[in-house]
Structure 1
């Protein structure tokens, strides 16, 4: 376990210096109505940047004495931190980037609770109301730049990838940086860090000084995927569904690297949106890319998608193996088409309002044994709806692997029971076994114990 700093005092800069007494009290409130539990969890994750574990419950158990409190002093806000990991400090002073991330945690938790969830100003029972809430969350975090042309590339991929795959994500990011494209990822390690690290070098060579490295996360996943140090615009969305929608509304193109169950969840969410009839004319370049050693991952993914969702789904995805420069060119050209389309349809460059995301996709899926058992995993439904239900399967697997609440459920009730059409279940079982063989399910696990059982109708 890391050495600990017994006590540290931090004074956030900017607008948070004038946090109200009520807001400070919310952050310290340990009741169900307060924010202290989620605040503590998110803050601990931020301070554990670089950890080699992806178990949210284990992180909390490893730091039982970690505490963070907020006080209003005469000169503004003060945070008191006890038993923080020593690697978050240099000579007793917290690393500046981590201070910024802590500030983002406070900003987003307070704003989401008071201005979105509890204000009554947002009708979260409608699709537009949810999208409007995401817009306001992103705007409050200063993610939208109205004076910029489209240039944000959303990069998805696993936090548990091979060294060769990680180097490939850096190469791809380098070529994106040379094209003065900005990077948006899930903000963690692995395929979320590599493109950012590569883009830093590409931006530097082009003397591009306005490089943006946007990290989108949510409280349930942040402990498993702590924000990497390159992220300079961290935003915490209230749940995974709002996080996924934000990726698609803020990004102008998507690159997907090898990953595991979490990356599969993102791919299926993406397809459930792109295959919706109302989105057939909306351009969004999507490329799947990997070094030759990562080809097996995408071969397995595409085989599963083609059987379950059909060729229409795989046609939405462009596969480029071993060609990072070509992948960057593909995205750059695709973003130019996005710009033309947005301009012709008077849609904002900084937020894709015209993309249709069905209300059912926006509803938080809480992976429980009951909710998993009720998923419709058969072909007697539109392909985009099947994609949505398949997405929920992988969301449950991610929860059972790395999220605090999911791990606790598995320990209490046993594996999730995934039940559906015989052939779909057979294909899913094959895909998941390939993930396990490729060691993509969980960091540092030689003998992975599945958090699920596959059952055929």
Structure 2
């Protein structure tokens, strides 16, 4: 069924970008429809205007709104946006919803600003430091970093395709976190990214807690497949998944993981690769696996996979709490307080974790292609933190093949990605992925056709 569209409307800046430089205005107003800046902004803007939609298909969204256009209109030291055939759900009585308008200009802010932050000199030797500094500048420019009293921000990871009972459990955990004055950071999409924010909003309202922070961290290639949910009130768009993941662990004070699909496995492996790295031996980054009674099997399968792939000692780096939202929130509240105390002792920032070491292998963008997936070094003889880095790329590639436009196109044109390595490791990867397929964790709707093949 075709969604109602608004034929024509003019939108003024909200939240950010009330002021632009003369050069920025000139650049935007001269931008052509086939320019990379316009293409990127149009796709991200359409995702924001489609906020709250239950979809994970970039192609369906783009086809539905193929006639959507944005024109930049010059005004004094800034611009307005002329939207043509915009999604009607973003409007009430002909006026754009206030929160949507704010997110729309957050998109433009990041498209303008982010593209210049990671243009590194090819002769630079401190690439890792420069990349971390770039991530810092992006979140600072977005207004995410705050001074003064810090109550703590909890990163909640989990799947966009989850069932009703899992959604309710995530929401109850979010409510308990909100009662304890903890802000929420998620990937900004539906499912386990929306539910904790929705629950926390009720908890914050009961406590009359301010500010009520619901931060969505996304990236260019995934935002259209996972449009921001309606609770997000601070949106940041990073240029790729690696910088998005770094922003999560730099800005957040603790991690809670709910059941999810390959993207959640990618996030878990990213966090564990950091915890396993020798330079992070004293790392304060609490990691809790949280599930309702009916979803315990997900983390049983995840625990089995992690132990077989990385050794039994890996279990000391995470805590599993089942069926008790209050216990999860109490544990995280105490852990976040300990993180704050530790940062105070180390003279580290409360709002940005500079003390965390992130190796370049986790910062370098992994582009999922048939060649890059086939070349992954998947052998149990590797050091655990190195193998965790490589396994993170496996699941990143599966995410790309499932919901990212470039990955979907590559699989459609050339067939499934091929994965190979040690037989025992390949078997345990296959078992985990098959369990996700069986539980419907790969897609929100429709039959799932695997974008990968496992080979020994």
The reply on whether 1:354 has 2:351 as its aligned counterpart is no
The alpha carbon displacement at 1:247 in A equals 0.3
**14-23 vs 291-300, greater mean Cα deviation:** 14-23
Q: 1: distance between equivalents of 2:96 and 2:428? A: 48
Q: What's 2:114 paired with? A: 112
* Pairing 1:263–2:303 present: no
Kindly state the Cα deviation for residue 55 of structure 1 after the two structures are TM-superposed. 1.2
Q: Is the 8 Å Cα contact of residues 376 and 389 (structure 1) preserved in structure 2?
A: yes
Q: Mapping of 1:278-293 within 5 angstroms?
A: 278-293=279-294
- Which whole-Å CA distance do the structure 1 matches of 2:400 and 2:219 have between them? 13
Deviation at 1:22, TM superposition (A): 3.8
The answer to whether the aligner puts 1:62 opposite 2:84 as a matched pair is: no
Change in 2 beyond 3 A, CA 1:394/1:30: farther
CA deviation digits over 1:176-196, x for unaligned, max 9? 011011111111111111111
Stretch of structure 1 that moved more, 48-57 or 447-456: 48-57
**Structure 2 equivalent of residue 412 of structure 1:** 413
Aligned to 1:450: 450
| Unaligned residue ranges in structure 1 (runs of 5+) | none
Which residue of structure 1 lines up, in the alignment, with residue 368 of structure 2? 367
User: Per-residue deviation at 1:366?
Assistant: 0.5
Work out the CA distance in 1 between the residues paired with 2:226 and 2:13: 23
Q: Deviations over 1:277-298 (max 9, x none)?
A: 1111111111101111111111
Is the Cα contact below 8 Å between 1:57 and 1:407 reproduced in 2? Answer: no
Provide the residue aligned with 2:240 in structure 1. Answer: 239
| CA deviation string 1:376-413 (max 9, x = no partner) | 11112110110111111111111111111111111111
Q: State whether residues 153 and 251 of structure 2, in contact with CA within 8 Å, keep that contact through their aligned partners in structure 1.
A: yes
Q: Structure 1 pair 31/376, CA: closer, same or farther in 2 (3 Å)?
A: farther
Preserved CA contact (<8 Å) 1:19 1:72? no
Distance in 2 (CA, whole Å) between partners of 1:121 and 1:194 is 43
- 1:13-412 map, 5 Å: 13=14, 16-24=17-25, 26-27=27-28, 29-30=31-32, 34-74=36-76, 76-114=78-116, 116-118=117-119, 126-149=127-150, 151-412=152-413
Distance 1:21 1:335 in 2: 43
Task: Name which of structure 1's ranges 308-317 and 128-137 shifts more when overlaid on structure 2.
Answer: 308-317
CA-CA distance at 1:239 after TM superposition: 0.8
SS of match in other structure, 1:236: strand
TM-score (norm 2): 0.96
1:27: how far off?
A: 4.6
Equivalent residues of 1:27, 1:34 under 8 A apart:
no
Quick check: 1:215–1:231 contact (8 Å CA) kept in 2? yes
Partners in 1 of 2:58 and 2:28 — Cα distance? 20
Q: State the shift of 1:113 in Å.
A: 1.7
Conservation of the 8 A alpha-carbon contact between 1:416 and 1:452: yes
Q: Aligned partners of 1:342 and 1:432: how far apart in 2?
A: 38
TM-aligned CA distance change 1:33 to 1:7, over 3 Å: closer
Give 3-state SS (helix, strand or coil) of 1:16's partner: coil
Q: Alignment partner of 2:436: what SS?
A: helix
Q: If the length of structure 1 is used for normalisation, what is the TM-score?
A: 0.96
Distance 1:211 1:343 in 2: 24
TM superposition shift of 1:419:
1.1
Q: Hey, what's the Cα distance between the residues in 1 that align with 2:78 and 2:150?
A: 37
Say which is worse superposed, 206-215 or 27-36, in terms of deviation: 27-36
Contact 1:122 1:133 (C-alpha < 8 Å) held by counterparts: no
CA distance in 2, matches of 1:334, 1:420: 38
1:108 partner SS: helix
Instruction: Indicate how the Cα distance of structure 1 residues 344 and 225 shifts in structure 2: closer, same or farther if over 3 A, else same.
Output: same
C-alpha contact (below 8 Å) 1:288/1:320 kept by paired residues: yes
| CA shift in 2, pair 1:182/1:122, >3 Å | farther
The offset of 1:119, in angstroms, is: 8.5
Q: Alignment partner of 2:321: what SS? A: strand
**1:57–1:403 CA contact under 8 A, matched in 2:** no
Q: Find the aligned partners of 1:59 and 1:112 in 2 and give their Cα distance.
A: 24
Does the Cα contact within 8 Å between 2:256 and 2:289 map onto a contact in 1?
yes
Deviation string 1:145-190 (CA, Å, 9 cap, x unpaired) is 1213251100000111011100111100010011011111111111
